[in-house]
Amino acid sequence: MTAVSVAGRRPGPALWLLSWRFLAEYARRPLNLALLALVPLVFVTLSAGAIADFATALGGITELGTVEAATAGWAASLLAGVAGFFHITGSHEVDRRLAAAGAGPLRVVTARLVSAMALAGIAATGALLALGLRTDVAGSPRVIGATVLMALIYLGIGTVVGASVRSEVNGSLLLVFIWLFDVFLGPAFGGGGALLRTFPLHFPTLVVTDVASGHGGPVGDLGLTAAWATGALAIGTIALVRMTRPSRAKATPRHGWWRRTAVGLRYGLRDYRRNLVLWVLLIGLPIAFISVSIAVTPTTPTPVELIEDGQRGLQLLSMRRLHGAIMVPITVGFLAGLAGLFVALGAAEGDRRLVLAGYRPLEILAARLGVITIATAITTAMSLAVTSMSFAPASWPLFIGATILVALTYAMIGVLLGPRFGLLGALYLMLGLPFIDIGIAQNAMFDAAPPSWATFMPAHGSVRVMLDGAFTTQFDETGALLVAIAWLVGLTAVAVVQFHRLAAPST
């Protein structure tokens, strides 16, 4: 008897082999797996102290050890969600064909889930190892269990988004911003309203920090955390099953020339519609993120190092005003970097075809930079408009100019990272670099003066100019301005060289 089924098809591969092949496909870029382990190390070891200070300022959890434990779970959840999303989003047609070829939907879905859970396990392990370098709390069963559950919750969310959203740009942005609001409006930062209790990481954060919510009901905080993980994975499984079912072929109707022309026009405009979520978030995120951050920040005075009339010294500033100023470069740097990343990657193959069709590389590059500049301008304008409702800098021209420098600098970084590291690797880097650079190193809310290593970061000069324009009446940061311009010119020059190489027709 042969190994051919009654229907004439060979049986599909074994479950373990299929899972291994899915992992090998994900690991085709070794950087993807490396970042799963390295990002938690950087996030937990570098940011735990700063996040603890931030939480204290906002009236949240004040003990460093408990906040450190939470950072491990947050890092694991983000990385597991992003890994799960990219593990699923590009496999729609492949999984359908595998299922139709004999593997069956159940086996394909199970293999996807097993391999995705392995990625979540790597993320959780990396986060716990990083936490272990700072504190002994990493060995606590409560911390280990809560961290793993947080990773599984966002693995389920990432799976649902990956099975539902076809565009990698839209899906990854949607997932990242869900996580951002989930973490920074959570109980660790003082968020505890009835609506905020419905966020996925609300109860897991309380469990990992060993803070009783008092509203967990009969099952308690741990039970609700486990329910979130189970529910997220169950919904993700359902979404995967729906995605993997073989689709029925439909006959293609014939239409007249006018109909074919309309279809061609529709596909020509698809590139603009495809990034709808990106454009919505470029406008919506500054409104929500900056306004909420300013609203929850107390007016407590904090010392900031500034130069006034050529003299360097400390000034006491309201923490709310300082936060209103610093949230602008954090937001625009992150969003402009993502815009540069996605524009550079999304147009790579089309740019080569345009070169073959007779376009000059500089003409194409100018067009791409135009798109990035428009996205940067929209984000910058929205961020400044929201900030202006509660904060007025001493010099608007300096403040606006410095913000534009931050945005364009990180847009060029996004252009450079995308082709070098691929979408997933570059996205991981763009999540971490603005946070470490602007959110921690240059953030005067944590230190009156930036640490020595912060002077080597891309946004150092721009942020110093921004703070000077925000809180002093005379411009004294000429050196910082020159540094900021040098960063932008240098990154742009490297981007031009890289574009020429990538746009050259392959031989």
Among residues 158, 154, 129, the alpha carbon closest in space to that of 144 is found at 129
On the question of pLDDT at 440 being above 80, the answer is: yes
In a domain, 329, yes or no: yes
Query: Which one, of 185, 368, 383, 370, lies nearest residue 283 by Cα?
Result: 383
Share of the chain above pLDDT 70, in %: 73
Q: How far apart are CA 359 and CA 434, in angstroms?
A: 34
Q: What is the largest CA-CA distance in the chain?
A: 92
- Model pLDDT, residue 109: 81
Q: Tell me how many degrees the CA angle 208-35-128 measures, rounded to the nearest 5.
A: 25
Q: CA 427 to CA 438: how far, in whole Å?
A: 17
Average pLDDT over residues 144-160: 92
Mean pLDDT of 314-343: 85
Q: Is residue 193 part of a domain?
A: yes
Q: Assign 166 a pLDDT band (cuts: 50, 70, 90).
A: confident
Note down the domain range covering 127: 10-246
Pair 353, 497 in one domain: yes
Same domain, yes or no, for 364 and 506?
A: yes
Same domain, 287 and 406: yes
Identify the three-state secondary structure at position 444. Answer: coil
Place 279 in a pLDDT band, splitting at 50, 70 and 90.
Answer: low
**Across 122-150, average pLDDT:** 85
Q: Same structural domain for residues 291 and 393?
A: yes
What pLDDT, on a 0 to 100 scale, did the predictor assign at position 63? 61
For residues 203 and 337, membership in a common domain is answered with: no
pLDDT of residue 348: 61
456 shares a domain with 389: yes
Highest mean predicted confidence (pLDDT) among 135-149, 201-215, 339-353: 135-149
pLDDT at position 410 over 90? yes
**Residue recorded with tokens 């961020």:** 383
| Residue of 424, 417, 422, 402 whose CA lies nearest to 469 | 402
Q: Could you tell me if residue 1 is inside a domain? A: no
Last residue of a domain, one of 229, 246, 263: 246
The answer to whether 113 and 19 have CB atoms below 8 angstroms apart is no
Q: Does 351 reside within a domain?
A: yes
74-83, 347-356, 373-382: which range is least confident on average? 347-356
340, 392, 386: which is closest to 499 by C-alpha?
A: 340
Higher pLDDT, 111 or 99: 111
Q: Taking a C-beta distance cutoff of 8 angstroms, is the pair 132, 142 a contact?
A: no
One domain, residues 219 and 308: no
Q: What is the pLDDT of residue 262?
A: 44
HEC profile of 272-329? HHHCHHHHHHHHHHHHHHHHHHHHCCCCCEEEEEEEECCEEEEEEEEHHHHHHHHHHH
Tokens encoding 277: 């979520």
User: How long is the chain?
Assistant: 507
Position 257 in a domain: no
Mean pLDDT of 158-177: 82
Q: What digits encode the pLDDT tens for the residues 353-370?
A: 666 666 666 667 777 777
* Same domain membership, residue 281 and residue 155: no
Question: For residue 194, what pLDDT band results from cuts at 50, 70 and 90?
Answer: low
**Residue 123 covered by a domain:** yes
| Minimum mean pLDDT range among 196-210, 265-279, 322-336 | 265-279
Of 59-73, 176-190, 230-244, 398-412, the least confident: 59-73
Residues 346 and 224 in one domain: no
State the pLDDT at residue 367: 72
Q: Please say whether the beta carbons of 116 and 189 come within 8 A.
A: no
Average pLDDT over residues 88-99: 74
Which helix (H) or strand (E) segment holds residue 117: the answer is helix 105-132
- Residue 466 in tokens: 């921004």
What is the chain's mean pLDDT, rounded?
77
DSSP symbol at 213: -
**Tell me, what's the pLDDT at 355?**
65
Number of domains within the chain: 2
- Tell me which of 227, 246, 265 is where a domain ends: 246
Mean per-residue pLDDT, 141-160: 92
Q: Render pLDDT for 37-57 as a digit per residue (tens, 0 to 9).
A: 667 767 776 666 666 666 666
Instruction: Check whether 401 has a pLDDT greater than 80.
Output: yes
Kindly list the distances between the CA atom of residue 367 and the CA atoms of 53, 290, 372, 374, in Å, as whole numbers in the listed order: 43, 30, 9, 11
> Are 295 and 368 found together in one domain?
yes
User: Of 95-109, 149-163, 315-329, which gets the smallest average pLDDT?
Assistant: 95-109
**For position 460, what pLDDT does the model report?**
93
Instruction: Please check the confidence at residue 398 and state whether its pLDDT lies above 80.
Output: yes
Same domain, 170 and 21: yes
The token duo for 411 is 């847009």
Band of pLDDT at residue 261, cut at 50, 70 and 90: very low
Give residue-wise pLDDT tens across range 247-258.
554 444 444 434
Are both 73 and 218 inside the same structural domain?
Answer: yes
> Considering the domain boundaries, does residue 469 fall inside one?
yes
Residue 446 predicted with pLDDT over 80? no
Burial class (CB in 10 A: 0-12, 13-18, 19+), 316: exposed
pLDDT-derived band at 407 (thresholds 50, 70, 90) equals: very high
pLDDT computed for residue 406 by the predictor: 94
Would you say residue 295 has pLDDT above 80?
no
Name which residue leads in pLDDT, 169 or 300: 300
Q: Is residue 2 part of a domain?
A: no
